[in-house]
Amino acid sequence: MLNEKQHGLLRDILDSAKVIRAYLDGVSHTAFMQNSEKQDAVLRRFEIIGEAASRLAPETKTLFPGLPFSQMRGMRNIIAHDYGDVDLDQVWRTASGPDLDVLIASLRSFFDSVEGSCEI
């Protein structure tokens, strides 16, 4: 059973992934590339995802063998420390592609399965 902190970190990842989807709802690649506010908002949510992923315990990560926690952390590090090297096309592909769908589905499934057995 995961502790409250681990649940909170997973919830932060899920919530940020869902918010990224909401930010990009109806937004084309061209519109994203021309809108610095959308870029900043999406980048911030990826920072949150990466920071939360870096704080997950190894035992928590083993519950999600298909999720790329090290890449989440790596993306966050690039955004935070090498911000001049951020590839916005890669950010777009990640934000609008199937990887985010897999992340959301995995975490939704997890929370659906534990709902009622712990406080979330």
pLDDT digits (tens, 9 = 90+) for 56-95: 999 999 999 999 999 999 999 999 999 888 999 999 999 9
Catalytic one among 44, 55, 76, 93? 76
Distance CA 25, CA 92 (A): 12
Residue 99 forms part of a structural domain: yes
Write down how long the chain is. Answer: 120
Residue 119 forms part of a structural domain: no
Catalytic one among 73, 81, 93, 108? 81
Has 76 been annotated as catalytic? yes
Has 81 been annotated as catalytic? yes
116 pLDDT higher than 60: no
Find the domain containing 93 and state its range. Answer: 4-114
- What six digits make up the tokens of 3? 């502790």
| Beta-bridge partner residues of 118 | 115
- What six digits make up the tokens of 57? 């315990």
Cα dihedral value 77, 78, 79, 84, nearest 10: 150
pTM comes to: 0.91
Per-residue pLDDT of 37-60, as tens digits, reads 999 999 999 999 999 999 999 999
Residue 23 forms part of a structural domain: yes
Distance CA 7, CA 2 (A): 7
Q: What is the pLDDT of residue 120?
A: 39
Q: Report the domain count for the chain.
A: 1
